Chains A and B, each alone.
Chain A
Amino acid sequence: MGRKYANPPVVEAVCEFRLTPDTPWDMTIPGLVYEKLRDEFPQREQRLLQEVELTQGPEGLQQQIRTSERILFLVENRKTFVQIGPRLLAINALKPYPTWAGFKPKIERAFEALNRTVEIRGLERIGLRYINRIEIPSSPVRLENYFQFYVFLGPRLPQDMADFIVGGEFAYANGRDRCRVQLKPAPSSSPECAVLVLDIDYFLAQEKGVEVRAAIDWVEEAHDKVEEVFEGCITDSLRNLFQEVR
């Protein structure tokens, strides 16, 4: 059981399942899944997403723009929603984060609805991602006061950073899983306040590395790892800002 905070920094949690290309898919699937979820996710919306790709071929650089459709099923207050697109299912929870006890049942329910609709032949990727927006009421910020995952600068380098990014991927389960961690600045609406985004994305790095029937167990395990990494990235000064509940 992880620590609890009265003022948690999570602005979005996402659990995403990408199905292998051999999984059958057609345009009726979103509607069939919606029928199974509409009591809890009654609002339905569409997003037309654009994907930009740049490829280097014999004739030089070529740009391709592809459009794909995603259907969103939202709860009444629009803070939690399910996204469904070609061989993709994602469940998102926006701030205020409903706690793991509130979020996990929605993941289970959406995955179960998809699993009862489609014969899922394999999982290409599963991801559990937490995006934290951390406001620190001071600027400049001494990163090491708040983080245990930050930029180290040798004494011969300039010490006053205008911008930065810190990122890394950690291997888990003998390389089957990875956890990508990034810390980077975000726009602030106040000069008195510094804002950082701590993005923790734990994902299945090996296609079909997890059986479909074990997917939800994997998600539970991923959540434990995300919590460990989150706590490993921060110091007690941030825990105080988040108001730990004991």
Chain B
Amino acid sequence: MITTSAVTASSPTWRASFVFPFLLKEPWLETGPGRLIFSATPTGSLIADIFRILEQLKDEAVFVRDAQELQEYLLRFPGIVDVLVDAVRAVKEHFPEAKLLLGVYRDPEIEDRYPFLCVRLKKYDENFMECLEAAEAEFIGRLTDTEGWLQLTTDFKDPEMENAF
């Protein structure tokens, strides 16, 4: 953990945060009737887009693990950035109550890693796998034309359990 040290009035300090802060958003705000009041537009910067999308996912209650490693993967395979948004949307449509975890899987046997999106539900009924496949079908086609991978999966755990993610 980060330790706190005494500070003086003339020396403002800032302590490192382990979550994506709201500051990474880049909205443009304008007011007035019939006018644009918010726009989240992709920028020319890939890093800024990745920050914006990860922040958006956090707002949608997706738990992001290994943020730094995920950023590195997305920088290497930029096509996956946009697939990720579609994948989360598809999963939320099929499983509105699900808790989602986004992380990076490291294959222990070979030098390979790729992001995964893990779905957890309070109850897993007999249609669960069918729905998971239906959600995957909504974005998997885009992976065939894109370098990199995104795996949709589950571990069948209870999302409420302590330290679930």
The residues of A with any CB-CB pair to B shorter than 8 Å are 11-12, 14, 16, 43, 45-58, 61, 68, 70, 72, 78, 81, 83, 88, 90, 92, 94, 127, 129, 131, 139-144, 150-153, 155, 159-165, 184-189, 191, 193-195, 199
Instruction: Pick from B4, B8, B33: contact of A56, CB below 8 A.
Output: B33
**How far, in angstroms, from A155 to B5 measured CA to CA in the complex?**
17
Say yes or no for B108: interface residue by CB 8 A criterion.
no
Interface residues on B, range: 35 or more
Instruction: Pick from A48, A56, A81, A191: contact of B142, CB below 8 A.
Output: A48
CB <8 Å contact, B19 and A187: yes
The residues of B with any CB-CB pair to A shorter than 8 Å are 1-5, 7-24, 31-42, 44-49, 51, 67-68, 75-76, 78-79, 81-82, 85, 142, 145-147
Known: A56-B35, A57-B34. 15 other contacts (CB 8 A): A11-B47, A14-B45, A47-B79, A49-B42, A51-B41, A56-B31, A72-B79, A92-B45, A127-B44, A142-B11, A142-B13, A144-B12, A151-B12, A155-B10, A160-B7
CB <8 Å contact, B37 and A185: no
**How far, in angstroms, from A189 to B17 measured CA to CA in the complex?**
10
Q: What DSSP secondary structure best describes chain B's contact surface? A: loop
**How far, in angstroms, from A45 to B12 measured CA to CA in the complex?**
45
Closest to A136 in B: B16
- Chain B contacts for A153, CB-based, 8 A: 12
Give chain B nearest CB distance to A152 CB in angstroms: 7
CB <8 Å contact, A185 and B17: yes
Instruction: Pick from A47, A139, A140, A184: contact of B24, CB below 8 A.
Output: A184
Give chain B nearest CB distance to A6 CB in angstroms: 21
